[in-house]
Amino acid sequence: MFRFNLLLYVQLFIAFCTFSQANDPQATKILNEISQKYKSYTTLQTYFTLKVEERDGKIISNQQGILHTKGDKYKLELPGQELYCDNETCWLYLKDANEVQINNYDPLEQSIIPTQFYTIYEKDYFYALTEEITENNKVYQIIELTPNDKSKSYFKIKLSINKANKSITNIKVFDKGGSRYVYEIQKQTPNLILDDTFFKFDATKHPGIEVIDLK
């Protein structure tokens, strides 16, 4: 991912923390339960809406996407572009240009990897349960996370979690530039049968494609 204009630029999480701060035990319990749930899936298909907002809440972009994950492999589909990663190579396919860019997979170069959505809290972040809210007769727990590394391009993330089924329904990322990236989870289907080739881009299926090898 999220590169997360298309990599779901999940640029993450909230300020106020130091390395000496202790994480909220309630938040730890909730996040551990979510992590265990998602780790039990062999694959996961997620339909989501990505909204990009200005600081005042004005929506400047709104698009639908699909994310498939299998272990450390993922495929991300957004309008006009697809991102494939098989944990060794990443392919960025630009449909309108009929172009694919190929890079080595390097998790250290990415702000956040889609397969880390449910485990990112496990190290290098401070987090706390800040509130519970009720909407449409459902209770949601709000957890805020802050990266200890202040050089990150993001400073805060808010997770909205359905208390009843321990699922993440909304991820709001606060960019240092003032933008807000809001990922609303529409539907999730676990344990689909996906062959490893699903996470590799096949250029032979796209006649005339321009291949840009950046490895």
Q: What is the CATH number of the domain that holds 137?
A: 2.50.20.10
Does some domain include residue 33?
yes
Domains of the chain: total:
1
Query: What's the rounded Cα separation, in Å, for the pair 15 and 200?
Result: 37
pLDDT tens series, the chain, 215 aa: 334 444 433 333 222 222 234 578 898 899 888 888 888 999 999 999 988 988 777 888 889 999 999 988 999 999 999 999 998 999 999 999 999 999 998 765 554 555 566 666 777 788 899 999 999 999 999 999 888 878 877 888 899 999 999 888 998 888 888 888 888 999 999 999 999 999 999 999 999 999 999 98
- Beta strands 81-85 and 180-190 are unpaired
Buried (b) or exposed (e) across 148-157, using 16+ Cβ within 10 A?
Answer: eeeebebbbb
pTM of the predicted model, to two decimals? Answer: 0.81
Residue 46 inside a domain? The answer is yes
Range of the domain at 188: 25-207
